[in-house]
């Protein structure tokens, strides 16, 4: 990995961790002071964070299936969007079941993706250090930002604004899932610190603090837009020769921007389609727009997760930590 790309990875990591800790700190102070407020601003913060995060998946079909001829690429995009459309229809039809599957899928995707990001970064170390198994980090890295906010005491209020039928999505198992997620975080921190992976342990602590101290919509917004999307975009730089060239010739930030720009049309398309679906279904922008945007993002995650797994598998396999069968 070129020095400028290593710098990009490290800066991206530092910014995302700082964003989580700062948000947790401010939320903790407001919580201690008993300062509440309308959830409206949280809803729109979530929309903004979704907008920031959407472009990171728009180039997955290019970097994971390179060299495809235009005709085949067109068919691939049609199939991709068809899967998204079916997923949107399924979630809108079976709200609770669809949401529960999305929670599971997102926790797996976020955790493995974050672990793969760290493995890509660790490859730049010389000599490579012996580390804890990747899943020691991946499990809490996925569960803490996804499961904990959705099973906390404030979850019902947040879900009320998203879609009231989702309030009992866990069917009464929320406390158990919450404590298992927190236990995974504690075990992860202890294990990582025992291997002297203090920076990795700090990441887990930051995710736990964000999930526990921040309102659910705020925790989700900051994590998705300023943690997951940023780290995934940094990984895309490795798959885009133009982005690497910009990082080498100009600056790490220039390489990052080069990886973001191709995804902006997808952002515009998602927001326009969300408005259209909201109007067609008889909803209002003030009340229903966030729900529709979330449904589209969750639906996009279905093919996005499948394509990203190829990158994740390669990163983890290079680290020598995937079983032989999983590498095929």
Q: Is 56 annotated as a binding residue?
A: yes
Residue 228 annotated as binding site: yes
* All residues at 6 or more sequence positions from 301 whose CB lies less than 8 Å from its CB, including other chains: 57, 102, 105, 106, 109
The span from the CA of 91 to the CA of 298, in Å, is 9
Rg from Cα positions in the chain: 19
Q: Is 109 annotated as a binding residue?
A: yes
Terminus-to-terminus CA distance in the chain, angstroms? 24
Rounded to whole angstroms, the Cα distance separating 305 from 57 reads 9
Task: Find all residues with CB under 8 Å of 168, minimum gap 6, and list them.
Answer: 96
Half-sphere exposure of residue 86: CA atoms within 13 angstroms, side-chain side: 8
* Binding residue numbers for Fe cation: 56, 109, 228, 232
* Binding residue numbers: 56, 109, 228, 232
């Amino acid at each position: 990995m070129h020095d400028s790309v290593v710098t990009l990875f490290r800066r991206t990591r530092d910014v995302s961790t700082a964003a989580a800790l700062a948000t947790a700190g401010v939320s903790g102070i407001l919580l201690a002071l008993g300062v509440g407020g309308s959830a409206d601003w949280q809803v729109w913060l979530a929309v903004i964070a979704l907008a920031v995060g959407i472009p990171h998946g728009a180039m997955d079909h290019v970097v994971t299936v390179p060299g495809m001829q235009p005709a085949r690429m067109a068919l691939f995009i049609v199939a991709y969007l068809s899967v998204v459309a079916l997923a949107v229809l399924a979630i809108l039809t079976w709200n609770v079941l669809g949401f529960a599957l999305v929670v599971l899928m997102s926790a797996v995707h976020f955790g493995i993706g974050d672990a793969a990001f760290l493995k890509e970064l660790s490859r730049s170390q010389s000599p490579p250090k012996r580390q804890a198994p990747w899943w020691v980090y991946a499990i809490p890295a996925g569960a803490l930002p996804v499961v904990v906010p959705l099973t906390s005491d404030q979850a019902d209020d947040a879900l009320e604004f998203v879609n009231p039928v989702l309030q009992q999505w866990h069917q009464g198992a929320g406390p158990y899932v919450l404590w298992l997620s927190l236990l995974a975080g504690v075990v992860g921190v202890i294990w990582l610190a025992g291997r002297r992976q203090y920076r990795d342990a700090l990441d887990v602590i930051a995710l736990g603090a964000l999930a526990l101290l921040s309102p659910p919509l705020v925790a989700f917004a900051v994590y998705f837009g300023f943690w997951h999307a940023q780290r995934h975009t940094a990984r895309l730089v490795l798959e885009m020769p133009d982005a690497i060239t910009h990082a080498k010739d100009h600056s790490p930030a220039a390489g990052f921007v080069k990886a973001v720009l191709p995804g902006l049309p997808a952002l515009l398309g998602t927001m326009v389609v969300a408005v259209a679906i909201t109007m067609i279904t008889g909803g209002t922008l003030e009340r229903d727009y966030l729900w529709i945007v979330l449904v589209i993002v969750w639906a996009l995650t279905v093919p996005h997760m499948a394509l990203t797994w190829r990158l994740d598998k390669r990163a983890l396999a290079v680290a020598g930590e995937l079983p032989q069968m999983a590498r095929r």
